[in-house]
Amino acid sequence: MAKVVDLTSKNRHPMTLRSASSREDSKEVPVDLNTAMSKALQNPLVLDLIFSNLGLPDLKTSRLVCPEWADVGTTFLGRRALLHLNKLFSYEGSEPAKMTPVNDKLMRRLLISDKFDSSIPTNKKADVITRALAQVDGVSELTREITFLVGQKELVLAFLKGIRMLGSTNIQHVAIIRAWKADSVDSIPPQAIQLLPPQPNLTSLKFQIHSDFQYDRTTGCKEFQPLLQIWLNSAPNLTSLDVATSFYPNLEACTSLIVLKFKFLKCCDEHYRHLNVTKMLTQVKDSLIELELCHYVTDYVSLQQIQPAEEVPVMSRLTSLTIHAEKVYEIHDFYNEKRFPKLRSISLRTGFQPSSLLKHLNLWIPHRGVKSVTLILDYYSWEVQEFGGKMINLFPSVKEFDLRMGLTCFAFPLHLPEMFLEGEPVWRSTAIQRFMEPFQMWDLKRVNVSLRLPESALLINALQAISVLKGVKRVQFFFRCIYNTRVNFSASLVQDVILHSGAFKSVEITIHEMAPEIVEQLQLIVEASGAPIRFIGRSE
């Protein structure tokens, strides 16, 4: 008979402490349960506060202390950890899979993967997944989240079969995530993907299928459309959808969708290269409040670049927009107050080409309703320095500004002006000052800046450049010592940082691969000065 491990709390012992003198001589020491400390550590309110601050390893260990701690710890584990459901099953010989019993509280969040107990025969793995869903007591009633992470397509059908056998459930979130390998030659027949029972409690769906599209251009990723569609059609109350695919899903059934995060992957055939994003957005134009448009596209030759204005929807409720500036999202007459009447927050990120953000901004018409702007600059070029003034004109009412940028990615212009011919460090220091100047025209209330710098010599220039902005300013700097020996914090440099930190609410400096004792010495210096500076050392 298969070995069964009891993970429930029924065999726990009263609270005891173990002597830490040695493993061999460790003894259980009874604890007086009448002391104030013991009573406090049995108080559910106190335990809730303690356990809410524990990491997963400590949560697991704490359950061994006593029945009270086991019960509270199990509750927190059930909320924060995934129970690897199919690994609870094992075979012994030809016997059917045996399941390790678990506490009901651990059934809240489940993980189903293609990793099984070594005793499970290959030809029985699909059956185990179906049985794990359909025959384990409490899944339908107790489970709130399921993450499905496999690479074998036959297991997809087993998973769907188990869901159909469950019927309508209390599941609120489903995540289907996988990258199919290039040598995967089997496919999912459309007729095998049957309708699912209604899932009225399902409000959140994550669907990310990362395929190697080179292996089959005939079917490619199209076979996954029915897989996503049956989930969309089964969830009438879906409010959040996170999708990464190479096709635009049909969202007609998603009448309650509030949050849409869509990542467009590399196309697998010519047909899907010519679909446009506006058709998808039109289907949810009256419900969406938050929209994120991302991409992973490296070939734009056949992509339809500008879409006709008559196809562009009015997103009547949208307040937050995040967009990666690439050709796939270049839409004519879309980015303006008319199309986004309630837009208040926008996040812009550069695409694969350094100047893609500036080109994307040329599609915008000024929007006075935007109050919060986030800029994420993965690449930098000489041309991009022009978009500071462009941003001011497009969003004149901004009060909150977040900037994330790496000066290590700055690209030199083809023809440097004479003033920059002195060398790279001079160009870099002047570039950050010129970049920041236009933003001081905003009447800001809050500023958060995060910069990756190649050398400590640029630190003062960056502080000076950011200090001209209005509002409460917080800044983070990141240095990688392992890649650049010029990250050197001398005593005089630290004093200069202290001197220029007066305009900031906080200055955080993270230094990778620097000796902890040096980081500690730097922190002692700034603490003695009372400056709002914090040094952090990290090892990777």
pLDDT, mean of residues 297-323: 71
Q: What's the pLDDT at 335?
A: 92
Please, are residues 133 and 162 in contact by the beta-carbon 8 Å criterion?
yes
Sequence-ordered list of residues with C-beta below 8 angstroms from that of 279, at least 6 positions apart, any chain: 248, 311
pLDDT, mean of residues 107-126: 88
Question: Facing residues of 195 across strands?
Answer: none
CA separation for the pair 164, 354 (Å, rounded): 48
- Of the two residues 310 and 435, the one the predictor is more confident about is 435
- Of the two residues 378 and 253, the one the predictor is more confident about is 253
**CA contacts within 13 A on the Cβ side of 311:** 12
Average pLDDT, the chain: 78
Residue ranges per structural domain of the chain: 35-81
In the chain, the percentage of residues whose pLDDT exceeds 90 is 36
Question: Facing residues of 448 across strands?
Answer: 402, 474
Return the top range by mean pLDDT from 20-34, 165-179, 353-367. Answer: 165-179
pLDDT, mean of residues 101-111: 83
pLDDT, mean of residues 240-248: 90
Q: What's the pLDDT at 211?
A: 57
Q: What's the pLDDT at 448?
A: 97
Q: Which tokens belong to 510?
A: 């993270």
Confidence of residue 4 (pLDDT cuts 50, 70, 90): very low
For 215-237, how does the pLDDT look when each residue is reduced to its tens digit (9 = 90+)?
344 444 566 788 899 999 999 99
Lowest mean pLDDT among 149-158, 180-189, 231-240, 434-443: 180-189
pLDDT, mean of residues 326-348: 90
Amino acid letter for position 182: A
For 340-382, how does the pLDDT look when each residue is reduced to its tens digit (9 = 90+)?
999 999 999 886 665 678 888 888 999 999 999 999 887 554 4
Confidence of residue 491 (pLDDT cuts 50, 70, 90): confident
Lowest mean pLDDT among 70-79, 246-255, 481-490, 528-537: 481-490
Q: What's the pLDDT at 209?
A: 77
Q: Which tokens belong to 86?
A: 């199919």
* Nearest CA among 277, 273, 302 for reference residue 292: 277
Lowest mean pLDDT among 164-173, 296-305, 348-357, 389-398: 296-305
SS3 state of residue 175: strand
Sequence-ordered list of residues with C-beta below 8 angstroms from that of 335, at least 6 positions apart, any chain: 363, 364, 365, 367
Lowest mean pLDDT among 195-204, 325-334, 388-397: 325-334
SS3 state of residue 404: strand
Strand 16-18 to 28-30 pairing: antiparallel
Q: What's the pLDDT at 508?
A: 96
Q: Write out the H or E segment, with its range, that includes residue 403.
A: strand 400-406
Question: Facing residues of 54 across strands?
Answer: none
Return the top range by mean pLDDT from 30-39, 266-275, 300-309. Answer: 30-39
Q: What's the pLDDT at 7?
A: 36
Residue 149 has pLDDT above 50, yes or no: yes
In the chain, the percentage of residues whose pLDDT exceeds 70 is 68
Sequence-ordered list of residues with C-beta below 8 angstroms from that of 292, at least 6 positions apart, any chain: 260, 261, 262, 321, 322, 323
Lowest mean pLDDT among 93-97, 339-343, 380-384: 380-384
Sequence-ordered list of residues with C-beta below 8 angstroms from that of 165, at least 6 positions apart, any chain: 130, 133, 134
pLDDT, mean of residues 502-511: 94
Q: What's the pLDDT at 32?
A: 54
Q: What's the pLDDT at 387?
A: 74
Question: Facing residues of 149 across strands?
Answer: 113, 177
Q: What's the pLDDT at 408?
A: 57
CA separation for the pair 321, 340 (Å, rounded): 9
**Tokens 């998973």 belong to which residue?**
159
* Nearest CA among 342, 350, 234 for reference residue 291: 342
Residue 473 has pLDDT above 70, yes or no: yes
Question: Facing residues of 83 across strands?
Answer: 110
CA separation for the pair 169, 199 (Å, rounded): 6
The backbone torsions φ and ψ at residue 304, rounded to the nearest 5 degrees and listed phi first, read: -70, 120
- Of the two residues 67 and 485, the one the predictor is more confident about is 67
For residue 432, the Cα-to-chain-centroid distance in whole angstroms is 29
- For 12, 70, 76, 78, the CA distances from 50, given in Å and listed in that order, are 20, 13, 11, 16
Neighbours of 194 (CB within 10 A): 11
SS3 state of residue 107: helix
Q: What's the pLDDT at 262?
A: 94
Q: Which tokens belong to 181?
A: 């390998």
For 407-450, how does the pLDDT look when each residue is reduced to its tens digit (9 = 90+)?
654 444 434 444 443 445 555 667 788 888 899 999 999 999 99
SS3 per residue for 11-48: CCCCCEEECCCCCCCCCEEECCCCCHHHHHCCCHHHHH
Q: What's the pLDDT at 28?
A: 53
